[in-house]
Chains A and B, each alone.
Chain A
Amino acid sequence: MNVAIKKVPLYVIALILLVFTGYPFLYMISTSLKSRTQFFEKPYSLFSSFTLENFKSVFEMGLSRYFFNSILVSVIAVFAVMLIAALASYPLSRMKFKLNRVVFLLFIAGMMLPIHATLIPVFKLSQSMGLYDTVWALLGPYIAFSLPISIFILTQFMQEIPASLEEAAKIDGCSHFGIFWRVILPMLTPALMTVLIYNFIHLWNEFIFALVLISSPENMTLPLGLQDFKGEFSVNIPGLMAALTLASLPILVVYIFSQEKVVKGLAGGAVKE
């Protein structure tokens, strides 16, 4: 009994935090299921009505186009990053050469870099390459800015793979590329999962490059499209909430099904096992 009473404050704090973190989501989903009149009558009531009208209307307004663009650019960028970063991490973590440390630090320093310091030149570059206002303009900066954290995670992991495996492969006549492809890469799966999750979520949510490099609605990614919706939906709040719910859904669903992996992935290199 005494123990149970002692725990009351704990439950109170836990509940306050639960409401603080969770309520906005309930509110978002609940509002997305209301009609406009229902919203103005009872803006605070939770799950008082269930209409899918808003979801239909946001799709008609082009949300599916934003979805398509976001999936296209984040999937291509993430897989390119995984390959390019894994290739670069191999010599950086397992071969001795003069500039190793310098090259490594140059990449890692990118994690500290404010994107703003590259914004105008990247904007000019995309114009001169004829990519401005296409989803392809995003690929270059997305890959480049995902490299530092990816290389950081992968080199850390690669360093821990015992050298004896590599030696054995070398004796069998394996080239460096053979070692990378047949020995290192298969062992890298957990680290690559971290890289995949981290970068996918960050790129799915990326805003500033999209804002600067894309202007036509048909080329917008989800975050930019949502920002664009803001104006059109200033009078249709349930519609806006439906758009937000749909845009957040893929990541929330992935998270619900593989919570541990997503948490570990999002913490990036900061949490070791």
Chain B
Amino acid sequence: METQLKGVRTATPAAQTATRPKKKSLNKFITISLFLAPAIIVYILYVLYPIFTTLLYSFYKWDGVGAGEYVGLQNYINLLSDNVFWTSLTNNTWVILTSIFVQIPLGLIMALMLLAPIRGIRLFSGIYFFPFLISTVAVGLLWVLMLDPLNGIINQIVSVFGFENVEWLSQTHTAMFAVLLVIVWQFSPFYMILFKAAIVGIPEELYEAAEIDGASAFTKFFRITLPLLMPTIVSSSILAIVGSLKAFDIFYVMTGGGPNHSTELLGTYMFKQAFVNFNMGYASAIAFVMFFLAMIVTIIIQALDYYRKKKGAYV
């Protein structure tokens, strides 16, 4: 670092005294490179090179030690007939749908509450944000206990409706639902913040004008607030989709993908194949599919954004 900083110091004054443009542009190149070098080196070493290597590994049958055996596209072909892979993909889709259709609306409701004219709301808003602050591992362990069939509070609540000792996390038909509930609990406050910022940005005059026209609170929400929040809803959905593709921690901690793969995600399946079964080649293929899906989503979003800007809608 030291030498790089010195380099910048000596390089730039030279650029200012130089009369030949060639030398000047060389100096500019050196300056820019020195500013960017640390970031680019770290980024190549830990992000770009690993992605490329993952693609490479995905063409091998390899246990992580010694030399692998080149198998071409075999890993990908196996993936297509792997039921667990399709289950994982379906479960990832559930996470996406829950994020968009439960977390985002709930986040919006929470944001509206924060701005509602009720007493003590400042204290409320402080607590509403709590779930997003603590580590996913802590969230997972806490909820495993709350969902415990014997001592968990959730069973205490549902027993009112006649359900006794539900083993939420060890039954295939309830495990996914239980984890999704926890995801909603953890991430809704994040969308709350995004919506709160957006709602505060809506000009007060619009509501005043509507008030004069005798609009009800209901009308005001659907005719003013919601349309003006569209860009935030869109960007929240993007974050939800991308975040859901990456989901791992909470599932790993709460169910480990079980029982019987009922909560398996691409992330947990890839981890198991790589670091439990040591099928590094196969795991790399799953990892690369995850990368590919994230890339496709990003490209689609960028393209939509480009057209939207061109048309001049929202913004």
| A interface with B by C-beta (< 8 Å) | 7, 10-11, 13-14, 17-18, 20-25, 27-28, 31, 39-40, 43-44, 83-85, 87-88, 90-92, 95, 97, 103, 106-107, 109-125, 140-141, 143-145, 147, 151, 173, 175-178, 180, 201, 204-205, 207-208, 211-212, 222-224, 226-227, 230, 237, 240-241, 244, 247-248, 251-252, 255-256, 259, 262-263, 266-267, 270-272
Using CB atoms, name the residue of chain B closest to A223.
B137
Can you name 14 A-B residue pairings with CB atoms under 8 Å?
A: A10-B116, A14-B124, A22-B127, A44-B156, A87-B35, A87-B36, A117-B294, A143-B42, A144-B42, A175-B9, A175-B13, A177-B8, A263-B129, A266-B193
Q: For the complex, is B85 an interface residue (Cβ under 8 Å from A)?
A: no
A224 to B137, CA, bound (A): 8
In the complex the two chains form, is A120's CB within 8 Å of B280's CB? Answer: yes
In the complex the two chains form, is B271's CB within 8 Å of A116's CB? Answer: yes
In the complex the two chains form, is A14's CB within 8 Å of B39's CB? Answer: no
In the complex the two chains form, is B290's CB within 8 Å of A208's CB? Answer: no
Q: For the complex, is B108 an interface residue (Cβ under 8 Å from A)?
A: no
A176 touches which of B31, B64, B117 (Cβ 8 Å): B31
In the complex the two chains form, is A145's CB within 8 Å of B127's CB? Answer: no
Q: Scan B109-131; emit 1 where CB is below 8 A from any A CB, else 0.
A: 11001001110010010111111
Q: For the complex, is B288 an interface residue (Cβ under 8 Å from A)?
A: yes
A255 to B12, CA, bound (A): 43
CB neighbours of B101 from chain A (8 A): none
Q: For the complex, is B178 an interface residue (Cβ under 8 Å from A)?
A: no
A107 to B41, CA, bound (A): 12
Give the size of the chain B interface in residues (CB under 8 angstroms). Answer: 91
Tell me whether A122 and B142 are in contact in the complex, defined as CB-CB below 8 angstroms, given that A10-B116, A44-B156, A251-B133 are known contacts: no
Q: For the complex, is B291 an interface residue (Cβ under 8 Å from A)?
A: yes
CB neighbours of A123 from chain B (8 A): 274-275
Using CB atoms, name the residue of chain A closest to B55.
A117
Q: For the complex, is B227 an interface residue (Cβ under 8 Å from A)?
A: no
Which chain B residues (126-184) contact chain A, with CB distance < 8 Å?
126-138, 141-143, 145-146, 151, 153, 156
Would you call the interface of chain A mostly helix, strand, loop, or mixed?
helix
- The total number of A-B Cβ pairs within 8 Å is 278
| B interface with A by C-beta (< 8 Å) | 5, 8-9, 11-13, 16, 28-29, 31-32, 35-36, 38-40, 42-43, 45-51, 53-54, 57, 64, 109-110, 113, 116-118, 121, 124, 126-138, 141-143, 145-146, 151, 153, 156, 185, 189-190, 193-194, 197, 235, 239, 242, 245-246, 248-249, 252-253, 266-267, 270-271, 274-275, 280, 283-284, 286-288, 290-291, 294-295, 297-298
In the complex the two chains form, is B133's CB within 8 Å of A118's CB? Answer: no
Other than A7-B117, A40-B151, A112-B294, give 4 A-B pairs with Cβ distance below 8 A: A10-B116, A43-B151, A175-B16, A224-B137
A109 to B242, CA, bound (A): 12
A71 to B236, CA, bound (A): 31
In the complex the two chains form, is B12's CB within 8 Å of A21's CB? Answer: no
A88 touches which of B35, B138, B249 (Cβ 8 Å): B35
CB neighbours of A124 from chain B (8 A): 53, 64
B249 touches which of A43, A151, A208 (Cβ 8 Å): A208
Using CB atoms, name the residue of chain B closest to A40.
B151
CB neighbours of A43 from chain B (8 A): 151, 153
In the complex the two chains form, is A84's CB within 8 Å of B118's CB? Answer: no
In angstroms, how far is the closest chain B Cβ from the Cβ of A241? 7
In the complex the two chains form, is A113's CB within 8 Å of B291's CB? Answer: yes
Tell me whether A14 and B54 are in contact in the complex, defined as CB-CB below 8 angstroms, given that A114-B294, A144-B46 are known contacts: no
A11 to B141, CA, bound (A): 31
Using CB atoms, name the residue of chain A closest to B57.
A120
A46 to B140, CA, bound (A): 21
Tell me whether A27 and B133 are in contact in the complex, defined as CB-CB below 8 angstroms, given that A10-B118, A91-B35 are known contacts: no
In the complex the two chains form, is A140's CB within 8 Å of B45's CB? Answer: yes
CB neighbours of A226 from chain B (8 A): 135, 137-138, 141
In the complex the two chains form, is A266's CB within 8 Å of B138's CB? Answer: no
